[in-house]
Amino acid sequence: MKITVIVATEKHGVTYRLKEAFLEPFRGSAEISEFYLPKDGPGFCTGCIACIGKDPALCKDAACVQKIEKALLDADLLVLASPAYVFHTTGAMKAMLDHFAYRWMPHRPAKEMFGKRAVIITQCLGGGDSSTAKDIKDSLSWWGISSIRVFTFKLMSEVVWDRIPESKREKMTGKLKAAAASMKRVDYSRPAHSKLSVKLKFHAVRMLQTSLGKKDPEYTDYKYWKANGWLENKRPWKQ
């Protein structure tokens, strides 16, 4: 199986250790691609809307975005890990997610995303672990992913890994290792089940695209939906 990991910081701190604990049961058997932000990520989105309106290849950061996108689409399991920075994900993670606005369902979602499984790991000192996870989950669910497991942690007193009491470290890593061990038993040749909420979002956008196509049959997103057969009977979760 293939796993693509995106870590919202380059620091080998708590985020890194928790991510490592989750990956441990997969090491040796899975093919793992890791991206550390900001070094492996794109720069900031300038809002040129070339990706949404015309072609993502026109983006100034196209080479980097396409490399990450290929890794995301090829993977059976996505792992995104982030610390909380001022109650949200890091600017580097947000910058990366912004580049995939054109993959949100109201635009041109990738059909491969609908059957994928994802894990989000966040942690903070005292608050913001859940809002950080939501920052990431918003994108993943609007990309079409239904199966998203979220692990959030509050450290409460100490944020330097080696100074965190061993019992607390073991509790956190043990939870992640146990989850990973159970996720290792999943049959990744079968796509994950698409949730009703994802299907409802899809059907709302389908109505929107039908109406937009009547006004402008050359509209980029409409042509994409039409070419995929989604305005007729085809559905991304059945492909």
> Considering beta carbons, is residue 162 or 232 the nearer one to ligand FMN?
162
* DSSP β-ladder status, 31-36 and 147-154: unpaired
Exactly one of 3, 4, 5, 15 binds ligand FMN (CB under 6 A); that residue is 15
Exactly one of 27, 58, 87, 227 binds ligand FMN (CB under 6 A); that residue is 87
Q: Which residues pair with 161 in a beta bridge?
A: none
> Considering beta carbons, is residue 72 or 172 the nearer one to ligand FMN?
172
Question: How far apart are alpha carbons 131 and 137 in whole angstroms?
Answer: 10
> Considering beta carbons, is residue 162 or 218 the nearer one to ligand FMN?
162
Smallest Cα–Cα separation from 205: which of 114, 127, 136? 114
Single-letter amino acid, residue 93:
M
Exactly one of 2, 24, 36, 85 binds ligand FMN (CB under 6 A); that residue is 85
- Residues in region 179-238 near ligand FMN by CB under 6 A: none
> Considering beta carbons, is residue 68 or 84 the nearer one to ligand FMN?
84
Smallest Cα–Cα separation from 186: which of 90, 108, 238, 116? 116
Question: How far apart are alpha carbons 214 and 192 in whole angstroms?
Answer: 34
Stretch that binds ligand FMN, among 28-36, 63-71, 83-91, 106-114 (CB under 6 A): 83-91
CA distances from 30 to 3, 51, 74, 188, 190 (A): 7, 32, 13, 12, 17
Instruction: Convert residues 95-134 into a mask of x (bound to ligand FMN by CB under 6 A) and - (unbound).
Output: ----------------------------xxxxxx------
Binding site for ligand FMN (CB under 6 A): 9, 11, 13-16, 83-87, 123-128, 155, 159
